[in-house]
Amino acid sequence: MSLVLRVFTKSTVPIFLATLCGIALTSSTVIGGGKIGERLQHVLDVMRAHDQVAVWVYFTDKGTHELIKSSVPFDVVSERAIRRRRKVRPLRQVVDYTDLPVEETYVHQIASRVKKVRQRSKWFNTISVSATRAQIADVEMFTFVKRIELLAQFKRGQKGDEFVRSDMTEPPSALPRGNSPTGIDYGLSFDQLSMINVPAVHNTGNFGQGVIVGVFDNGFRLLNHEVFDSLNILATYDFVDHKESVKPSNPSGGFGAHGILTLSQIAGYKPGQLIGPAFEATYILARTENDSSETPIEEDNWVAAIEWAESLGVDVTSTSLGYLNYEPPHSSWSWEDMDGNTTVITRAADLAVSKGVVVVNSAGNNGFNPTRNTLNAPADGDSVLAVGAVNSNGSRSDFSSVGPTVDGRLKPDVMAQGRSVRAASPSDTTAYGFTQGTSHSCPLIAGVVALILHANPDATPMQVVNALRMTATQAHSPDNLNGWGIVDALASINYREPGIPPSSYTLAQNFPNPFNSTTMIRYDLPQASIVTLKIFDLLGREVRTLVNDLQPTSTLSISHSVIWDGADNTGRVVASGVYFYRLSATSARGKAGGTFSESKKLMLVK
């Protein structure tokens, strides 16, 4: 007689006991009890034995990583991500439990019992899997499984979302052109940028340099389009097919086309044809959507993408994705679930904001309903910047989704042009056309966010959102049709939080610095003052007087600002090199009211 010793883990004990007692583990057997979510249970009740469903499997803990949960190492994310998080978190909380990975031994045990492991989410301590009804019942028995929920499945709204190729050949004199020191020829993209005052920001030399932007879409099939010749790409990943290239493998024309449209609208640079607001930003590209016929866009791809991009240090994300409904026989979310807390994709978006990321999302193309909201998730998030669409004349586009959220918050937040928006062709490397849909107003606003962050790198996500809202066209009368209105990029950059009037004289560092062509200098006056602002060379010789005047107190929301174009007092452009600018201010009440003088260094590079 031989003795066989078996060692059981906590997760295998239920299976062993069931076998010992002769219990058949069928798909209708519930071992764990209470772990199946209500929506998932409805689906399981109508599924056939061989059908598969996508679900979230949540774990009770993070296994071996629990040993370091009180001292999470900083290297779990990039240094860039750490610096961005410091804007919104104290040092001791800059990394936390959500940054620890899921326990791989749990993943392996689940993987052996399901059809496919799809994505991992360290933020929610969960994995997404595809499984049959019987396999879900099997997975439920593991003691490390906390609960199993239905995976939300989305479709991008199609109403009004289309591309129309344009072969217009207007004479150069008829094209709208930049009339600024930058000399940028915006071509037929001038209207969509001038509506949100982007050219005025470009005039300062701010093109989004140094800001990392994440664009999540259905892939990017034509990155060799001429409009992307100078595009700076940091990283790419296809979360649908799990590969580095974001060009879909399917050669069908629609696969990856939408991504080319939206990316060109934020990052494109082809003078005379198309200029994006943030054409000098750095980009992270993620394919999160699958264009296969009747295949929904599933939220686990987006959650995986936002976690990946956040860990790399992304500053702002632009997503033209939105919920519509489940594919039958799956039970749908409804407008009543647009409360900012129900869908996982919305909760992930809000969590990204809490880590310092500005999340910009299209509001949706579901139009107006007089009795309820027509929003897409995650635009319902309380920290998500939801973007609606207006026509070229500034009136709301009829397809643009409306609020309020179920918990009563105004949505959308802001508006930009969403009809007749210039875009690069997804099928011809030198062609262009026009698009419509909130999918295309969204990247314009995300580009403005990049400009704000370039000028104000320490601004938190909610400060950025507030600056955009409070300087928009309906700031004093927001509603659920247009939110706070059409944004003003330059005013947003100069915005100061309400209730924080300048308590002292301040002189900000110019931006950009170093600069080529133009730079902006901002300063605050706590009271009406006689002000001089001058440029000096390294020998202390005056180069240019920019301000010599009596100026009022800075308002509660707007700083004083002035642009230097690199010219001296005679209008001659000076040589490259290091210069100083000095602000001197004396209270209008005389020296008894206060005086101020400060100098800072700047660099002109040609």
The one-character DSSP state at 470 is H
Flag whether pLDDT at 552 surpasses 90.
Answer: no
pLDDT value for 171: 35
d(CA 20, CA 32): 17
The answer to whether residues 522 and 561 touch, using CB atoms and an 8 Å cutoff, is: yes
Whole-number pLDDT of residue 33: 61
Q: Determine whether domain 13-62+101-151 maps to CATH 3.30.470.20.
A: no
Residue 162 has a pLDDT of: 66
Task: Give the CA distances from residue 527 to residues 556, 559, 598, in Å, rounded to whole numbers and listed in that order.
Answer: 12, 12, 17
d(CA 427, CA 506): 51
What size, in residues, is the chain?
606
pLDDT of residue 40 exceeding 80: yes
Comparing 408 with 24, the larger pLDDT belongs to 408
pLDDT tens per residue, range 230-264: 999 999 999 999 999 999 998 888 889 999 999 99
**Whose structure tokens read 């909380």?**
93
In CATH, the architecture of 162-493 is 3-Layer(aba) Sandwich (3.40)
Say yes or no to pLDDT of 493 above 60. Answer: yes
Torsion of CA 305, 306, 308, 309, to 10 degrees: 110
* Of 294, 32, 373, 320, nearest in space to 162 by CA: 320
Tens digits of per-residue pLDDT, 397-440? 999 999 898 888 899 999 999 999 999 999 999 999 999 999 99
Confidence of residue 141 (pLDDT cuts 50, 70, 90): very high
**CATH class label, 506-604:** mainly beta
How does residue 361 score in pLDDT terms, banded at 50, 70 and 90?
A: very high
Q: What is the per-residue burial (b if ≥16 Cβ within 10 Å, else e) of 507-542?
A: bbebbbbebebbbbbbbbbbeebebebbbeeeeeee
Query: Is the separation of the CB atoms in 359 and 353 below 8 Å?
Result: yes
pLDDT by residue (tens digit) across 69-80?
989 999 999 999
Residue 99 per-residue DSSP state: G
212, two tokens:
């990392």
State yes or no: pLDDT of 287 exceeds 80: yes
Locate tokens 């100098």: which residue? 599
CA dist list (Å): 411 to 99, 374, 561: 31, 10, 32
Q: Is the pLDDT of residue 21 over 50?
A: no
Give the DSSP H or E segment for 453: helix 438-455
Element (H, E) at 44: helix 38-46
Domain ranges of the chain: 13-62+101-151, 162-493, 506-604
Lowest mean pLDDT, pick from 145-149, 269-273, 490-494, 502-506:
502-506
CA 53, CA 40: separation in Å to the nearest integer?
9
Phi, psi for 234 (deg, rounded to 5):
-85, -45
What count of other Cβ atoms lies within 10 Å of the Cβ of residue 382? 16
CB 184 within 8 A of CB 275: yes
Report how far residue 492's alpha carbon sits from residue 488's, in angstroms, rounded to the nearest whole number: 6
What is the C-alpha to C-alpha distance for residues 328 and 15, in angstroms, rounded to an integer? 33
- Concatenating the DSSP letter of every residue in 240-307 gives TTTBS--S-S--STTTTHHHHHHHHHHH-EETTTEE-TTTTSEEEEEE----STT--EEHHHHHHHHH
- Residue 8 — very low, low, confident or very high, per pLDDT cuts 50/70/90? very low
